Amino acid sequence: MKFTKEKLELEDGLKKEWILTNGIGGFCSSTIIGANTRKYHGLLIAPLTPPARRFLILSKLDESIEIKEKKYDLYTNVCKSYISHGYQYQEEFEKDYFPIFKYKVPGAEITKVICMEYGKNTVGVYYKIKTGANKAKLTLAPIVNYRDFHSMNTDHYFNLKQSNNRNKVKLVIDENSQTPIYMRLSEGNYVEHYNDTFSNMFYIEEEKRGFYPEENHCVPGVYEVEIPARQEKEISFVCSLEENIEQVDVKNLINKEITRLGKLFNESLLIDFKKDKKTKKELNEEEFIKQFKQNFKQSTIIWIILLVIGLFIGLDFYLCSLMSDNTISMIFKFIFTIVSVVLAFILIYVFPLTARFENSIKNTLTNSIFMSIQHLPYTLVMSVLAFAPILSFILFSQYCGQIVFFNTCISFGFIAYMNSILLNKIFSKYIQE
């Protein structure tokens, strides 16, 4: 899924959502413009006792970039009293394996990728920032919480305790909790805030569902990174319930997850292919039986019609032979000879047409006559091939046994093969049309 700038307006952007999972009951989810519209949205919803007791840990990570003393807020938040319009700087959103956000401001381009570590309550956010002629300062504001993902936090004061050791921040929001939150940025400085609250984040979808739509979050501090001019810098942020987050390389984590997910995807394709193959085989068998029944019925009726016509012509020839050789007898014999030739032409085309095309019996017989005349050179060649075995008996009757063996083992198959080549050439013209 991919959305370009014209599809990233506020109204549409708030309706389209994405989700990632970690395989143990945790997930991260939001909208394509990064605004949370549900109480279930967040960058880290972690099961404290996997896969149960899911808690909202990291609600959002709001980014700002400052260039030439002008600050650009890249985040989008919805509150009752205001809306931040960071989506205006968003150029693209793409979700294949991971959600990818691309932003562009005067003097900088920013790409953000969000990834979860499989089997761990860990989320990583990878940034690639490309600056122009001026240096820039990137500010990241983690918006955290600690509540059941079905609940809402309306407190204005968070009993927050935190410690910072070389950009690894340890947070304890609930003093009764034995589950600290860990954050780390690959570089830059962390500026601690005291009792800074994000008040009244408004969840549009919760209001639609009839629930109270506003929630408060904790902003423990911000990370600040200086980016020199004309550089392309890679920065990684990690938030986790795992203590050893300094060992998490987000870029490697992304590549590792791509490999894992790619393998799963290929295996699922293989399974689906096998299922499809089996299904197609079953469908082909059903279709063969259906077509066989239909063609058998139609062919039998055509056989009976042609047999009746053939018997009628044979009887007429017999009656003509009893007549004296006068003009009337010769006229009748000529007419019946022409009818016999037409009947022979029909026999060459009618059954291949029945097998190849769906049509009524009347139209199949009519098309047989039409095609035999339309493609007369081919018809004459196939007629000669068809009567060759009979002719061989007439000319070489003294070798009856050999002729039977030759026709049975060789000539009938050869004739069928040659006729199929000629008929395919004829039918292909009508299929193209």
Q: Residue 432: what pLDDT?
A: 47
Give the DSSP H or E segment for 341.
helix 327-356
> What is the share, in percent, of the chain residues with pLDDT greater than 70?
91
Region 339-359 average pLDDT: 80
Mean pLDDT of 291-299: 74
Q: What is the mean pLDDT of residues 228-241?
A: 96
Q: What is the pLDDT of residue 54?
A: 96
Measure CA of the first residue to CA of the last residue in the chain; give whole Å.
38
Q: What is the pLDDT of residue 331?
A: 80
**Contact between 122 and 242 (Cβ < 8 Å):** yes
In whole angstroms, what is the distance from residue 139 CA to residue 185 CA?
A: 11
pLDDT at 275 over 60: no
3-class SS shares of the chain: helix, strand, coil, % to 5: 45, 30, 25
Q: pTM (2 decimals)? A: 0.64
pLDDT band at 273 (very low <50, low <70, confident <90, very high): low
pLDDT of 30 > 70? The answer is yes
Query: What average pLDDT does the structure give for the chain?
Result: 87
The pLDDT tens digits of the residues spanning 364-402 come to 888 888 888 888 888 888 888 877 777 776 777 667 777
Distance CA 25, CA 52 (A): 7
Boundaries of CATH 2.70.98 in the chain?
A: 2-248
Range 2-248: architecture per CATH = Distorted Sandwich (2.70)
231/158: higher pLDDT: 231
Q: Are 289 and 281 in contact (CB under 8 A)?
A: no
Residue 399 is classified by DSSP as G
pLDDT of residue 281: 57
Sign of dihedral through CA atoms 373, 375, 377, 382? negative
Q: How many CB atoms lie within 10 A of CB 386?
A: 15
**According to the model, what pLDDT value does residue 183 have?**
97
What is the average pLDDT across 120-139? 97
Q: Where are the alpha helices (DSSP H) in 158-227?
A: 204-208
Better-predicted residue by pLDDT, 355 or 78:
78
Instruction: Please choose, from the candidates 140, 7, 142, the residue with its C-alpha nearest in 3D space to the C-alpha of residue 74.
Output: 140
